Amino acid sequence: MTKSIGILTAGGDSPGLNAAIRAVGKAAMNNYGMRVIGFRQGFRGLMQNRTIVLDASALSGILTIGGTILGTSRDKPHKMPVGDQIMDMTDAMVETYNLHHLDALVCLGGGGTAKNAYRLMEKGLNILTLPKTIDNDVFGTDVTFGYDTALTIAAEAIDRLHSTAHSHHRIIVVEIMGHNTGWLALGAGIAGGADAILIPEIPYDVEIVAEAILHRSRAGKPFSIVAVSEGALSKEAANKRGQLEKQIVEAKNKKEKKKAKAALAEFEANEMESTSKLTVKLEELTGLESRVTILGHVQRGGTPSPADRLLATRLGTACAQYINDGVFGVMVAACGDGTQAVPLEQVVGKRKTVPLNHPWINTARALHVCMGDD
């Protein structure tokens, strides 16, 4: 009997999604004779039964295209906006799965997608996930597809900022994406020759950063590049965040927890401007003209790098084989040059942060790159 599988992409878009869709679909059809359909706009499309047949024609010519042909959304199965209400639509998604007589559902996404897919798995669906995100923060995989492309874009941006920083003897602060982990800023900072790199894992002291810049200036280097992860926090802000998170954990009732969560949300909203505030403070402390560049979503766009296309293709073809072998409830992770089926319960609720003894951090320190802590 012909097996049928569904594919959806959820969360933020990422380079390599189309390469992964193509790999799953082509391997499933050509090697195992499976029928493949896609659901539009992530879990919302699964709820609404909005499908597209992923046949050879649909999969042709998408390898190098950025974004996702299926569309994506951040909607969650158990907290789905429906009209003016937020509803648990998990059962509707189960109905769609059964309506199409699916043997498996492949969910392409990051940590949030893994959580949502896990909820469907608990309802009895055969689930597999593939790790995509430019942040490279999915637990249990060596690397995520999308990261290499974003790393290249961010590093090239730093390359370009060097010339204007040098010409005007300026401090250029460049904010790089990465959510609450520093993989992207750290990698791009080292590759782009940044003079200071600030990441969430190492709370920074702005005066230490300023002194490092002044030390360069006194040595005859009148410009500096500061690469800042969007989730980087000063020591004071990190302490404040820790206190707010503690209040949520120690809340004695729902009212206290709601109040604590609101306080954390307000704190995070205020921190959205932290990079701009850091730039102003550095100019004040050093007396050097300072400018900020926020790269933003340009890091997600465009043609995926060859490395991301290769990774997405490797994971996608392995996914089709796992489905044929009856392996479900797993994330198809990159492991060395191969793949590994990691149980979803080992992935959900976890984040891969940069270890403080990571070789990249050691490399940066060996180059006397200021990490904001010494």
Secondary structure letter of residue 357 according to DSSP: T
- C-alpha to C-alpha distance for 49 and 28, rounded to whole angstroms: 21
Q: Which among 103, 135, 148, 308 is annotated as catalytic?
A: 135
Q: In this structure, which amino acid lies at residue 164? A: T
CA distance 189 to 297: 18
Instruction: Print the domain residue range for 108.
Output: 4-145+304-346
pLDDT of residue 374: 80
186 and 227 both lie in a single domain: yes
Rounded distance, CA 300 to CA 149, Å? 8
Torsion of CA 225, 231, 232, 234, to 10 degrees: 130
Q: Does residue 82 carry a pLDDT above 90? A: no
- One domain for residues 227 and 105: no
User: Where do runs of H (alpha helix) occur along the chain?
Assistant: 17-32, 43-48, 56-59, 90-99, 111-122, 147-168, 183-191, 206-218, 235-250, 254-270, 274-286, 306-324, 359-366
pLDDT at 49 (0 to 100): 97
288 and 163 inside one domain? yes
Residue 174 shares a structural domain with residue 260 = yes
Query: How many structural domains is the chain composed of?
Result: 2
Q: Identify the weakest region by mean pLDDT among 56-65, 76-85, 138-147, 209-218.
A: 76-85
Residues 6+ apart with CB under 8 A from 56: 26, 29
Task: With cut-offs at 50, 70 and 90, classify the pLDDT of residue 168.
Answer: confident
352 located within any domain? no
> Residue 328, SS3?
coil
Say if residue 241 is in the same domain as residue 161.
yes
At 15-33, the pLDDT tens digits run 999 999 999 999 999 999 9
Average pLDDT over residues 205-223: 95
Residue 111 has pLDDT above 90, yes or no: yes
Same domain, 204 and 242: yes
In angstroms, the CA 357 to CA 374 distance is 15
Q: Which range (15-29, 256-270, 351-365) has the least confidence?
A: 256-270
2 SS3 class: coil
**How sure is the predictor about 336, in pLDDT bands with cuts at 50, 70 and 90?**
very high
If asked whether residues 23 and 104 sit together in one domain, one would say yes
Asked if residue 156 and residue 79 are part of one domain, the reply reads no
Residue 104: predicted pLDDT: 98
Q: CATH number for the domain including 21?
A: 3.40.50.450
CA 32 to CA 192: how far, in whole Å?
44
Instruction: Report pLDDT for 166.
Output: 87
- Whether residue 324 is contained in a domain is answered as yes
pLDDT digits (tens, 9 = 90+) for 269-318: 989 899 999 999 999 999 999 999 999 999 998 999 999 999 999 999 99
In one-letter notation, the amino acid at residue 147 is Y
**Neighbour tally for 117: CB within 10 Å:** 28
pLDDT band per the 50, 70, 90 thresholds, residue 105: very high
What number of residues does the chain have?
Answer: 374
- 135 as an active site residue: the answer is yes
pLDDT at 1: 79
Which are the contacts of 54, defined by CB distance < 8 A and separation ≥ 6? 7, 21, 25, 36, 37, 38
- Output the pTM of the full model: 0.94
Assign residue 355 a region: left if phi > 0, alpha if psi is -120 to 50, beta otherwise?
Answer: beta
244-271 average pLDDT score: 91
Quickly state the pLDDT bin for 132 (edges 50, 70, 90).
very high
Decide if 52 contacts 62 (C-beta within 8 A): no
pLDDT of residue 220: 94
